[in-house]
């Protein structure tokens, strides 16, 4: 089967760049939205499976396709590891199909309409209408959605319910429908072709199939519990930014992960002692004292002068732990992080080539608790890039929850929200670390990572957890 790019005609249409097969604009297949929300009874079948893997869903007609994507992921037990898309037409790969794109493809410039702009009732209007949903452009799991009935919506009813279904959901990365059938038979000792399938699997892969990845039997109650997490209400006692994030998330696993982190972050814990607070903000207190009332003249490039860097290195106890002479700020990352984070949190400012205290910096200079509270109120920071804003917010939540691997938590959430690295791959821990860097730097300065400075620590200390919880409680 041709790849998604080839089938969609992306680019100039010719492998030699001659533009011989440029496709004409695709017709819009969307229809007017309904004035009144109805309940759609929709049969969803994974094409190519025999007997078919299918679910019958009852869906609000005003759902947007990004919400339908999350519902389908829940209904079939997918884990949102891969890209996806919707299409209205003869099939997903039809030349005349109108494509509705996931965020990664929309941002990449592929022709089509962003899925979050399209409602279900625009593409399914009359009984018999069909919509295609493709998940994983490698395995090519094509789901056929067919509108079977349109009925009045029950007041206060759930927005998505699974009413029936058949067969186990396929596991991720099993090779599409044919691979699923082989894997199912090879892992099911009661299957009539089990022996042959197991022998074929061993011949193809050189090993036995992993029983832990065997298809999970269809459980309608379990599916509906997951759907409730997708479309159910957000708890009203969550910190503002976390509640706002959850309200915007429709992926069931992302919502579940965020809710679990929020619950862990809310467990009772003693307030940090005055000594802990003083030690945590110590580097910032030193820097504010060093800048003083007169400020410090910066280098022509805008960095701290060598003498200040050396003093900062001593204050941060970098001697013997930092390779290099620690006399150039740009080459001494902990000092650079300290100064830049003090500026970004409003403690310092630059003016005419000098680094000066702000009004807040002057007031917090003599009061460790006020300095702690100010830094917490500025967490998570608000970088310009959306992925960094999200990464920092999830990092604060994961630290407050005491996660043992914060970058992995951030990577999983960003992936679930539709972010990908080059090549369309899932966000990895390294990319997540980049996205959460501003939070990492502040916590590193305050002794908030268990592995200490420079090691890209992944688990927070008790001090780091206390600070992150203070950040979540902060009203600003």
Residues 214-248: tens digit of each pLDDT: 777 899 998 998 888 777 777 778 888 898 898 88
Are the C-beta atoms of 112 and 99 separated by less than 8 Å?
A: yes
Mean pLDDT, residues 316-332 taken together? 82
* Owner of token pair 């702690």: 372
pLDDT of residue 23: 53
Using DSSP bridges, classify how beta strands 425-426 and 113-114 pair: parallel, antiparallel or unpaired: unpaired
Give 209's pLDDT tier (boundaries 50, 70, 90): confident
How far apart (Å, rounded) are the C-alpha atoms in residues 183 and 175? 9
pLDDT of residue 46: 97
Q: Could you tell me what percent of the chain has a pLDDT over 70?
A: 92
Ranges of each domain in the chain? 4-26+35-166, 274-376
Q: Taking 70 as the threshold, does the pLDDT of residue 16 lie above it?
A: no
* Owner of token pair 């059938």: 181
How far apart (Å, rounded) are the C-alpha atoms in residues 173 and 245? 29
Residues 121-170: tens digit of each pLDDT: 999 999 999 999 999 999 999 999 999 999 999 988 999 999 999 999 89
Q: Taking 50 as the threshold, does the pLDDT of residue 397 lie above it?
A: yes
3-state SS, residue 120: helix
* Owner of token pair 């003869």: 90
Q: In this structure, what DSSP letter does residue 418 have?
A: T
List the structure tokens of 251: 């992926």
pLDDT of residue 60: 98
Mean pLDDT, residues 8-19 taken together? 39
Mean pLDDT, residues 326-342 taken together? 93
> Hey, CA dihedral for 412, 413, 416, 421, is it positive or negative?
negative
Give 320's pLDDT tier (boundaries 50, 70, 90): low
Mean pLDDT, residues 198-205 taken together? 83
Please give the residue that has the higher pLDDT: either 455 or 237: 237
Please give the residue that has the higher pLDDT: either 235 or 320: 235
Find the range with the poorest average confidence among 57-61, 201-205, 434-438: 201-205
How far apart (Å, rounded) are the C-alpha atoms in residues 77 and 362? 55
Spatial neighbors of 354 by CB under 8 A, at least 6 apart, are 295, 296, 297, 298
- In 10 A of CB 232, how many CB atoms? 14
3-state SS, residue 98: strand
CATH class of 274-376: mainly alpha
List the structure tokens of 248: 């915007």
Mean pLDDT, residues 198-226 taken together? 83
- In 10 A of CB 251, how many CB atoms? 26
Q: In the CATH scheme, what is the homologous superfamily, with its name and number, of domain 4-26+35-166?
A: MM3350-like (3.10.290.30)
Mean pLDDT, residues 394-411 taken together? 93
Q: Is the peptide bond prior to 380 cis by the omega test (within 30 degrees of 0)? A: yes
First to last CA, the chain: 53
- Name the average pLDDT for the chain: 87
3-state SS, residue 241: helix
Mean pLDDT, residues 463-470 taken together? 96
Residues 26-49: tens digit of each pLDDT: 889 999 999 999 999 999 999 999
Mean pLDDT, residues 328-352 taken together? 95
Q: Taking 50 as the threshold, does the pLDDT of residue 53 lie above it?
A: yes
pLDDT of residue 215: 78
pLDDT of residue 13: 39
Give 252's pLDDT tier (boundaries 50, 70, 90): low
């Amino acid at each position: 089967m041709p790849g998604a790019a080839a089938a969609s005609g992306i680019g100039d249409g010719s492998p030699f760049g001659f533009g011989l097969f440029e496709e004409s604009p695709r017709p819009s297949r969307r229809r007017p939205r309904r004035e009144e929300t109805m309940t759609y009874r929709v049969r969803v079948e994974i094409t190519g499976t025999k007997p078919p893997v299918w679910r019958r869903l009852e869906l609000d007609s005003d759902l947007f396709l990004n919400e339908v994507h999350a519902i389908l992921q829940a209904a079939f037990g997918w884990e949102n590891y891969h890209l996806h898309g919707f299409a209205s037409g003869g099939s997903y790969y039809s030349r005349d199909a109108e494509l509705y794109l996931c965020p990664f493809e929309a941002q990449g410039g592929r022709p089509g309409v962003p899925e979050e702009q399209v409602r279900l009732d625009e593409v399914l209007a009359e009984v018999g209408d069909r919509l295609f949903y493709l998940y994983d452009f490698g395995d090519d799991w094509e789901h056929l959605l067919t509108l079977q009935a349109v009925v009045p919506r029950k007041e206060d009813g759930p927005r998505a319910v699974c009413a029936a279904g058949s067969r186990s959901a396929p596991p991720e990365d099993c090779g599409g429908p044919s691979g699923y059938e082989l894997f199912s038979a090879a892992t099911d000792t009661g299957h009539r072709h089990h022996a042959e399938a197991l022998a074929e699997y061993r011949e193809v892969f050189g090993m036995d199939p992993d029983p832990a990845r065997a298809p999970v039997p269809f459980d309608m109650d379990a599916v509906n519990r997951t759907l409730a997490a997708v479309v159910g209400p957000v708890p009203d006692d969550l910190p503002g930014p976390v509640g706002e994030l959850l309200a915007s998330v429709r992926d069931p696993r992302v919502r579940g992960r965020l809710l679990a982190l929020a619950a862990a972050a809310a467990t009772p814990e003693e307030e940090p002692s005055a000594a802990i607070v003083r030690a945590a903000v110590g580097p910032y207190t030193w820097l504010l004292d060093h800048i003083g009332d007169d400020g410090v003249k910066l280098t022509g490039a805008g960095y701290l002068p060598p003498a200040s860097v050396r003093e900062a290195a001593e204050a941060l106890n970098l001697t013997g732990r930092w390779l290099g002479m620690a006399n150039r700020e740009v080459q001494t990352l902990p000092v650079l992080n300290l100064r830049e984070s003090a500026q970004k949190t409003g403690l310092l400012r630059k003016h005419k080539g000098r680094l000066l205290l702000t009004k807040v910096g002057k007031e917090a200079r003599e009061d460790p608790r006020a300095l702690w509270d100010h830094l917490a109120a500025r967490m998570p920071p608000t970088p310009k890039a959306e992925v960094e804003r999200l990464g920092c917010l999830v990092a604060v939540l994961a630290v407050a929850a005491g996660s043992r691997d914060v970058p992995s938590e951030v990577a999983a959430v960003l992936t679930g929200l539709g972010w990908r690295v080059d090549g369309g791959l899932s966000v990895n821990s390294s990319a997540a670390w980049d996205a959460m860097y501003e939070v990492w730097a502040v916590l590193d300065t305050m002794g908030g990572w268990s592995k200490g400075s420079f090691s890209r620590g992944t688990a927070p200390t008790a001090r780091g957890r206390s600070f992150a919880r203070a950040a979540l409680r902060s009203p600003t």
